[in-house]
């Protein structure tokens, strides 16, 4: 089966009177890796289940290539899904799990076994065929689940938090492995995750969701540096949100930046955001110190290479490039700079590349 | 003085150490011994003891000679009932688990348990009036024009027994099976559907293998029940052959012949023991597998 694009058009899902998904439209390019990212309860898993056919839409359409699949039962959709709990069939061996989808498609035994062996090679599990799935480790189970989905050569691969039940080290390994495999096979992939690091490191495109709606669709770099609104920024680790001042290099009601971009300096930097304050807290966080600094009635989080004594007067400075300006409606403002403090804002060509 | 006080107390003997434990299990052990094991052993022993107190196999021979056909009939009826029970309860429990029409599932869930609360003797009576030649079943078929009145026949033979046993035991096995199916990881079913399996395939190839232990338990408990019910064969079947329970009752009631009744009882012990052995073997195999 060839690589195909997926399109959602005005998709809504209602469950027990509540709107789980509201009027979603999304185009997923053929062969791309798309992450559905959002806090728990935002509807990202429901969206994935709707594509697989387990959550009937109340309105809207789902298309794979040119075909509409919204009215088909799950078994007719040919979307291959990998479940969070692996969902391997415990009464079958590894080979049994891998070949069952082929058996359903009426493929001859010899061919089934050959394909199972090939997929075990691909997943770095050679010789695992006769083992019982209950004897495998979490990472091995996840790979078998992935193999079971890939063995039918599906047009769309759906991954429901596939790495969330694994240890951190195995997770990092599998992350890279999964990404390489996806690029090698060129299969259109949609992955649900609540882990922004996972989404940023794996996806071509991230779909940020909140309360049943799509907030932003963007490549990882853009999503990270230009979150669509305050809440999206907070979810993506923008932990400092300060009220804008006239002398700041960005004219905005609220200015956001990450603590990693905030440095202590001897004197205020030019063309940067500067705040004076008193150190409230200094905690070691491996490789550096996390500071809490009281500046007026705001508290700023910053990092420092060296420990700082409590109650020290410091100057925090953040380069203009790391700042995000949000308007009174909490939406991100187009990037604009003020070359000298006090001057009126003047829009400048937007640069997303840095 | 101080030495003797700090010295460790003498270790109690092995029996003294066991005593508190024995005291705790004694009531349960005695109840099982007197109320269960003793009568069982007595009835087995009496099947082999003649009037003078010596060993004999005469009772067994009489039982086999007079009632051999009944033993075979009992096995046949029990196995047919179990097959029907298995098919129906898998179908009902499967629909309860995989059904896509919420109101139909709710209605079925509410309805299927009713026979659980009806005693066997009432079930026998109901079956009698339902399955007789001019009973409700035939009347319905004739009134709806599906059957010619001349074709009407009584179902009060082995078919009546099988239908009644199934009617009474299907809810029980379904209850066990539906519970087990509900606790199966749902994503294993969704994974199968996602991979292209329809509902029926999911039931037979994914769901059922995961609950086959529970099905077996339900069927073995049903077998024991079927082997021990007296009222249903007494009410449904007039002539020969009939179930072993009816023949044991006959032997005791009309002849006061306990030894032959005990010999017949021995046959039913053996039959149920075989089922129990199969069950134990399977649970042991499952345990070994999960420990691996």
Check CB contact under 8 Å for A83 and B191.
yes
> Is the residue at A43 inside a domain?
yes
- Residues of chain B found within 8 Å of residue A132, distances taken between Cβ atoms: 289, 292
Q: Are B47 and B263 in contact (CB under 8 A)?
A: yes
* A258 and A328 together in one domain: yes
Q: Which residue has the tokens 């039959």?
A: B271
* A160 and A293 together in one domain: no
Query: Residue B76 contacts by C-beta under 8 Å, 6 or more apart in sequence?
Result: B158
pLDDT recorded at residue A349 = 41
List the alpha helices (DSSP H) in chain A.
Answer: 44-52, 94-104, 109-122, 138-150, 168-185, 196-202, 220-225, 230-235
> Is the residue at B2 inside a domain?
no
Query: How close B285 gets to chain A, by Cα (Å)?
Result: 13
* A218 and A248 together in one domain: no
Q: What is the mean pLDDT of residues A179-204?
A: 92
The shortest CB-CB distance from B188 to any of A75, A81, A87 is to: A87
The Cα A50–Cα A22 span in angstroms is 13
Check CB contact under 8 Å for A75 and B191.
no
Express each pLDDT in B240-257 by its tens digit.
Answer: 788 989 989 989 999 998
> Is the residue at B228 inside a domain?
yes
Dihedral, CA atoms, B167, B169, B171, B172, nearest 10 degrees? 170
Express each pLDDT in A243-271 by its tens digit.
Answer: 998 888 888 899 999 999 998 888 888 88
Output the furthest CA–CA distance in chain A (Å, rounded). Answer: 77
Q: Are A221 and A199 in contact (CB under 8 A)?
A: no
How many domains is chain A partitioned into structurally? 2
Query: How close B272 gets to chain A, by Cα (Å)?
Result: 28
Express each pLDDT in A272-286 by its tens digit.
Answer: 999 999 999 999 988
* A279 and A143 together in one domain: no
pLDDT recorded at residue A271 = 85
* A167 and A238 together in one domain: no
* Chain B contact probe: residue of A76, A78, A90, A151 with most B CBs at under 10 A: A90
Res. A328: pLDDT tops 70: yes
* A90 and A114 together in one domain: yes
Q: Which among B102, B83, B98 has a CA at the least distance from the CA of B158?
A: B83
Name the residue of chain A whose CA is nearest to B188's CA. Answer: A87
The Cα B288–Cα B213 span in angstroms is 14
Write out the residue range of the structural domain in which residue A328 sits.
231-347
% pLDDT > 90, chain B: 52
Query: Residue A188 contacts by C-beta under 8 Å, 6 or more apart in sequence?
Result: A3, A4, A5, A6, A28, A29, A30, A31, A32, A155, A156, A157
3-state secondary structure of B198: coil
Name the residue of chain B whose CA is nearest to A77's CA. Answer: B194
Name the residue of chain A whose CA is nearest to B197's CA. Answer: A75
The shortest CB-CB distance from A81 to any of B185, B194, B197 is to: B194
Q: Which residue has the higher pLDDT, A351 or B258?
A: B258
List the alpha helices (DSSP H) in B183-257.
Answer: 186-194, 199-201, 208-210, 212-228, 231-236, 244-255
pLDDT recorded at residue B9 = 58
Query: Residue A273 contacts by C-beta under 8 Å, 6 or more apart in sequence?
Result: A242, A248, A249, A250, A255, A257, A317, A318, A320, A323
> Which tokens go with B3?
């030495």
How far the first Cα of chain B sits from its last, in Å, is 57
> Is the residue at A353 inside a domain?
no
The Cα A328–Cα A351 span in angstroms is 23
% pLDDT > 90, chain A: 68
Res. A82: pLDDT tops 90: yes
Q: Average pLDDT, whole number, for chain A?
A: 89
Among the candidates A207, A229, A251, a domain finishes at A229
* Chain B contact probe: residue of A74, A107, A162 with most B CBs at under 10 A: A74
> Which tokens go with A113?
């076994």
> Is the residue at B54 inside a domain?
yes
Q: Which residues pair with A192 in a beta bridge?
A: A36, A160
Res. B1: pLDDT tops 60: no
> Is the residue at A210 inside a domain?
yes
What is the CATH number for A294?
2.40.50.140
> Is the residue at A354 inside a domain?
no
Task: Tally C-beta pairs within 8 A across A and B.
Answer: 70
Check CB contact under 8 Å for A87 and B289.
no
Res. A341: pLDDT tops 50: no
* A145 and A274 together in one domain: no
CA atoms within 13 A on the CB side of A37: 30
Q: Which among A49, A106, A125 has a CA at the least distance from the CA of A81?
A: A49
* A173 and A199 together in one domain: yes
Q: Are strands A18-28 and A336-337 parallel, antiparallel or unpaired?
A: unpaired
The Cα A246–Cα A75 span in angstroms is 60
pLDDT recorded at residue A124 = 86
Burial (CB count <10 Å: 0-12, 13-18, 19+), residue A351: exposed
Query: Residue B287 contacts by C-beta under 8 Å, 6 or more apart in sequence?
Result: none
Burial (CB count <10 Å: 0-12, 13-18, 19+), residue A178: buried
What is the CATH number for B133?
1.10.3720.10
Name the residue of chain B whose CA is nearest to A106's CA. Answer: B196
pLDDT recorded at residue A353 = 38
Q: Are B147 and B95 in contact (CB under 8 A)?
A: no
Check CB contact under 8 Å for B197 and A104.
yes
% pLDDT > 70, chain A: 94
pLDDT recorded at residue B290 = 66
What is the CATH number for A141?
3.40.50.300
Query: DSSP characters for A71-139?
Result: TS-GGGS-EEEE-TT----TTSBHHHHHHHHHHHTT--HHHHHHHHHHHHHHTT-TT-TTSBGGGS-HH
How many domains is chain B partitioned into structurally? 1
Name the residue of chain B whose CA is nearest to A79's CA. Answer: B194
* A141 and A115 together in one domain: yes
pLDDT recorded at residue B2 = 45
Query: How close B78 gets to chain A, by Cα (Å)?
Result: 29
pLDDT band at residue B11, thresholds of 50, 70 and 90? low
Write out the residue range of the structural domain in which residue B91 sits.
35-291
pLDDT band at residue A354, thresholds of 50, 70 and 90? very low
pLDDT band at residue B135, thresholds of 50, 70 and 90? confident
Name the residue of chain B whose CA is nearest to A148's CA. Answer: B195
* A117 and A38 together in one domain: yes
Phi/psi zone of residue B196: left (φ > 0), alpha (ψ -120 to 50 degrees), beta? left
> Which tokens go with A68?
């509409």
The Cα A261–Cα A335 span in angstroms is 17
The shortest CB-CB distance from A87 to any of B191, B198, B209 is to: B191
Q: Is A91 on the interface with B (CB under 8 A)?
A: yes
> Which tokens go with A308?
């700082």
- Residues of chain A found within 8 Å of residue B198, distances taken between Cβ atoms: 73, 75
- Residues of chain A found within 8 Å of residue B208, distances taken between Cβ atoms: none
pLDDT recorded at residue A26 = 94
Q: Is A196 on the interface with B (CB under 8 A)?
A: no
The shortest CB-CB distance from B195 to any of A53, A134, A152 is to: A152
By residue count, chain B amounts to: 292
> Is the residue at A267 inside a domain?
yes
> Is the residue at B23 inside a domain?
no
- Residues of chain A found within 8 Å of residue B290, distances taken between Cβ atoms: 134
> Is the residue at A85 inside a domain?
yes
Q: What is the mean pLDDT of residues B201-219?
A: 93
> Is the residue at A1 inside a domain?
no
Q: Are A247 and A233 in contact (CB under 8 A)?
A: no
Q: Are A248 and A271 in contact (CB under 8 A)?
A: no
> Which tokens go with B24?
């705790």
Query: Residue A259 contacts by C-beta under 8 Å, 6 or more apart in sequence?
Result: A239, A240, A290, A300, A301, A302, A303
3-state secondary structure of A192: strand
By residue count, chain A amounts to: 354
Query: Residue B93 contacts by C-beta under 8 Å, 6 or more apart in sequence?
Result: B174, B177, B178, B181
pLDDT recorded at residue A18 = 85
Among the candidates A205, A229, A253, a domain finishes at A229
The Cα A154–Cα A79 span in angstroms is 6
> Is the residue at B238 inside a domain?
yes
Q: What is the mean pLDDT of residues B92-119?
A: 92
The shortest CB-CB distance from A75 to any of B187, B196, B206 is to: B196
pLDDT band at residue B14, thresholds of 50, 70 and 90? confident
Phi/psi zone of residue A161: left (φ > 0), alpha (ψ -120 to 50 degrees), beta? left
Phi, psi of A88 (to 5 degrees): -75, 150
């Amino acid at each position: 089966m060839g690589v195909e694009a997926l399109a959602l058009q005005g998709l809504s899902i209602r469950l027990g009177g509540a709107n789980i998904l509201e009027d979603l439209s999304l185009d997923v390019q053929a062969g791309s890796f798309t992450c559905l990212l959002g806090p728990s309860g935002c509807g990202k898993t429901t969206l994935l289940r709707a594509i697989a056919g387990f959550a009937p839409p109340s309105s809207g359409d789902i298309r794979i290539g040119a075909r509409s699949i919204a009215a088909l039962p799950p078994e007719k959709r040919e979307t291959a899904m990998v479940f969070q709990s692996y969902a391997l069939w415990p009464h079958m061996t590894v080979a049994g799990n891998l070949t069952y989808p082929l058996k359903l498609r009426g493929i001859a035994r010899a061919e089934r076994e050959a394909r199972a062996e090939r997929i075990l090679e691909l997943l770095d599990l050679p010789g695992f065929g006769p083992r019982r799935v209950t004897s495998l480790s979490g990472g091995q189970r996840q790979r078998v689940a992935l193999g079971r989905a890939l063995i039918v050569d599906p047009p769309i691969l759906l991954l429901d938090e596939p790495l969330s039940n694994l240890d951190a080290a195995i997770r990092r390994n599998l992350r890279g492995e999964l990404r390489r495999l996806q690029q090698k096979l060129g299969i259109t992939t949609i992955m649900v995750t609540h882990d922004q690091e996972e989404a940023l490191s794996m996806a071509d495109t991230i779909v940020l969701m909140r309360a049943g709606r799509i907030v932003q669709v963007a490549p990882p770099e853009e999503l990270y540096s230009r979150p669509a609104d305050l809440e999206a920024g907070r979810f993506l680790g923008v932990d400092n949100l300060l009220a804008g001042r006239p002398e700041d290099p960005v004219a905005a009601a609220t200015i956001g930046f990450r603590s990693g971009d905030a440095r202590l300096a001897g004197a205020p930097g030019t063309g940067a955001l500067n705040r004076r304050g008193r150190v409230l807290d200094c905690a070691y966080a491996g490789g550096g110190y996390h500071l809490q600094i009281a500046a007026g009635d705001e508290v700023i989080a910053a990092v420092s290479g060296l420990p700082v004594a409590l109650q020290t007067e410091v100057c925090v400075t953040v380069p203009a490039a790391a700042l995000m300006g949000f308007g009174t409606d909490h939406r991100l403002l187009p990037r604009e700079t003020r070359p000298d403090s006090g001057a009126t804002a003047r829009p400048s060509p937007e640069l997303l590349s840095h | 003085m101080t030495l003797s006080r700090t010295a460790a107390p003498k270790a109690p003997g092995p029996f003294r150490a066991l005593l508190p434990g024995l005291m705790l299990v004694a009531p349960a052990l005695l109840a099982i011994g007197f109320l269960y094991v003793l009568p069982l052993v007595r009835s087995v022993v009496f099947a082999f003891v003649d009037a003078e107190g010596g060993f004999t196999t005469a009772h067994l021979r009489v039982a086999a000679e007079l009632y051999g056909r009944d033993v075979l009939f009992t096995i046949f009826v029990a196995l047919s009932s179990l097959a029907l029970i298995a098919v129906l309860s898998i179908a009902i429990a499967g629909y309860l688990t995989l059904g896509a029409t919420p109101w139909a599932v709710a209605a079925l869930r509410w309805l299927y348990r009713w026979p659980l609360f009806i005693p066997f003797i009432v079930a026998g009576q109901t079956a009698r009036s339902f399955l007789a030649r001019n009973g409700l079943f035939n009347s319905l078929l004739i009134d709806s024009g599906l059957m010619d009145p001349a074709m009407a026949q009584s179902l009060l033979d082995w078919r009546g027994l099988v239908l009644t046993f199934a009617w009474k035991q299907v809810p029980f096995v379904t209850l066990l099976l539906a519970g087990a199916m509900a606790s199966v990881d749902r994503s294993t079913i969704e994974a199968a559907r996602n991979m292209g399996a329809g509902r029926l395939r999911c039931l037979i190839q994914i769901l059922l293998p995961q609950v086959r232990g529970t099905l077996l338990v339900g069927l073995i408990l049903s077998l024991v029940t079927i082997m021990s019910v007296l009222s249903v064969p007494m009410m449904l079947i007039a002539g020969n052959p009939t179930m072993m329970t009816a023949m044991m009752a006959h032997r005791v009631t009309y002849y006061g012949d306990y030894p032959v009744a005990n010999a017949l009882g021995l046959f039913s012990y053996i039959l149920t023991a075989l089922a129990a052995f199969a069950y134990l073997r399977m649970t042991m195999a499952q345990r070994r597998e999960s420990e691996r």
